[in-house]
Amino acid sequence: DTAVSQTPKYLVTQMGNDKSIKCEQNLGHDTMYWYKQDSKKFLKIMFSYNNKELIINETVPNRFSPKSPDKAHLNLHINSLELGDSAVYFCASSQRQGKDEQFFGPGTRLTVL
């Protein structure tokens, strides 16, 4: 009965590879987000989708591409991985954009070697 789930939990890969992280929410929420937590534990938003429409696209390299096939899923694809991409990536969702509590997934720890 997990509310916001992410797969995989851990991802270890070589520089230059392409990888994807998947996120699903079973809360019936309209809005989903991707956040990045760096090595200093600082959290910063990357993207937000509302009803499958891209709402927020922060200053993120275009190697990062989110995809929302439906309201319950928001995946993150990363091309040509770099060492600096190593971080914990969190998915979150809220009922309505900007108005409601955000619920976070357990995170995906990405390590680029």
Partner 1 sequence: KQEVTQIPAALSVPEGENLVLNCSFTDSAIYNLQWFRQDPGKGLTSLLLIQSSQREQTSGRLNASLDKSSGRSTLYIAASQPGDSATYLCAGSGNTGKLIFGQGTTLQVKP
Sites of contact with partner 1 (CB under 8 A): 31, 33, 35, 41-45, 48, 55-56, 58, 90, 92, 94, 97-107
C-alpha to C-alpha distances, 52 to 33, 46, 72, 78, nearest whole angstrom: 11, 15, 9, 19
DSSP H/E element including 40: none
Q: Measured from the CB atom, is 25 or 31 closer to partner 1?
A: 31
Provide, rounded to whole angstroms, the least separation between the CB of residue 18 and partner 1. 25
Nearer of residues 1 and 14 to partner 1, judged by Cβ: 1
Cα gap 91→113, rounded to integer Å: 23
For residues 74 and 29, what is the distance between their CA atoms, to the nearest angstrom?
Answer: 12
The residue (of 11 and 92) whose beta carbon lies closer to partner 1 is 92
CB of 80 to partner 1, least distance (A): 26
